Structure 1
Amino acid sequence: MHYFDLTGKVAVVTGAGRGLGAAIAVGLAEAGADLVLVTNDTPADGTAGKVRELGRKAVTLQADISNRSNLPGIIDKTVEEFGRIDVLVNNAGIIRRTPAAEHSYRDWEDVLNVNLNSVFVLSQEAGKRMIAQGAGKIINIASMLSFQGGINVPGYTASKHAIVGLTKQLGNEWASKGVQVNAIAPGYMVTDNTEALREDPLRSTQILERIPAGRWGTGQDLAGAAIFLASSASDYMSGHVLCVDGGWMSR
Structure 2
Amino acid sequence: MKIHVLTLFPEMFDGVFGSSILKKAQEKGIVDIQVTNIRDYSDNKHKQVDDYPYGGGAGMVLKPEPVFHAVESITEGRNPRVILMCPQGERFTQSKAEELAEEEELVFICGHYEGYDERIREHLVTDEISIGDFVLTGGEIPAMAIIDSVVRLIPGVLGQEASHIHDSFSTGLLEHPHYTRPQEFRGMKVPDVLLSGNHQKIEEWRMEQSIKRTFERRPDLLKNIELTPKQLEYLETLKRKNEKS
Q: If the length of structure 1 is used for normalisation, what is the TM-score?
A: 0.30
Larger radius of gyration: 2
Query: Which of structures 1 and 2 has the larger relative contact order (alpha carbons within 8 angstroms, sep 6+)?
Result: 1
Q: TM-score, normalised by structure 2?
A: 0.31
